[in-house]
Amino acid sequence: MSQYQIAVIVGSLRRESFNRKLAEAMANLAPSEFTFQHLDIGELPLYNQDDDASPAASVQRLKADIRTARGLLFVTPEYNRSIPGVLKNAIDHASRPYGQSVWAGKPAGVLGVSVGAIGTALAQQHLRNILAYLDVPTLGQPEAFIQAKEGLFDEAGNIGADSRVFLQGWMDRYVAWVKQHAV
C-alpha cells in the first residue's frame, strides 16, 4: 500500500491553539496510509532576501520536510481578516531563492477555526490566492469554515459529535485529492 506523508502547517504558535488541536483531531479521521508531520514554523527567522544564499538550519529543515511530503495540510486562524504573519513568513521562506520553491505541485487542503462567526473564511481566501501563485493544487470543496464552540472537540481531543460527519466528509475528499495529485 502506498504511503502518504503529509506536512501540516499550523498558522498559530499559541500553546493552546484551536487550530493545532483541529489539525491533530483531523489526523485521526485519515486512513492508516496517511501520516502527518507538524512543521515547526515558530523557529524560523523573519524572511530576509539577503539570507537566500545561506539559509538558517530551520529554513533548510522546513524545505526538506516539504520536499519529502506528498501533500500539505494548512490549518490556520484568521488574523485581522488575513493569514497570520508567521504563516506568511513560512510560506515565503519555502518559496525562495527564486526558482527553488518547494511548494509547486504538492496537493493541499485548507482548514481553519476561529472564534469569529465567519470561521477564517477571509484568511482562507487569502491563503488560496497565495497557493495558486505558488502552483499548489488546493482542494476547492468542501470549504470548512469552523467556529470555535463548546463541543467542537470531545474529551479525548477528537472532533466532537456535531462536526464529525462533516469533517469526516472533508477528510475523505482531501484523501482522494492527495491521491489524485501526489507524485
Ligand X SMILES: Cc1cc2nc3c(=O)[nH]c(=O)nc-3n(C[C@H](O)[C@H](O)[C@H](O)COP(=O)(O)O)c2cc1C
Return residues touching ligand X (CB under 6 A). Answer: 12, 14, 17-19, 77-81, 114-116
Tell me the β-bridge partners of 147.
114
**Strand, helix or coil at 132?**
helix
CB of 109 to ligand X, least distance (A): 17
Please give the helix or strand (H or E) that residue 38 lies within, else none.
strand 34-38
Residue 51 to residues 26, 56, 82, 169, Cα–Cα distance (Å):
35, 8, 26, 42
Residue number, 67 or 149, with CB nearest to ligand X: 149
Residue among 1 and 117 whose Cβ is closer to ligand X: 117
Minimum CB separation of residue 144 from ligand X in Å reads 14
Contact 112, 145 (CB under 8 A): yes
Q: How far is the CB of 147 from ligand X (least distance, A)?
A: 8
Judged by beta carbon, residue 85 or residue 105, the one nearer ligand X is 85
What's the closest the beta carbon of residue 77 comes to ligand X, in angstroms? 3
Of 109, 111, 107, 116, which Cα lies nearest the Cα of 159? 111
Q: Say what the alpha-carbon torsion angle 125, 126, 129, 130 is, to the nearest 10 degrees.
A: -140
* Nearest residue to ligand X on Cβ basis: 116
Nearer to ligand X by C-beta: 19 or 163? Answer: 19
d(CA 111, CA 100): 26
- If the CB atoms of residues 85 and 97 are measured against ligand X, the closer one turns out to be 85
CB of 41: closest distance to ligand X in angstroms?
A: 13
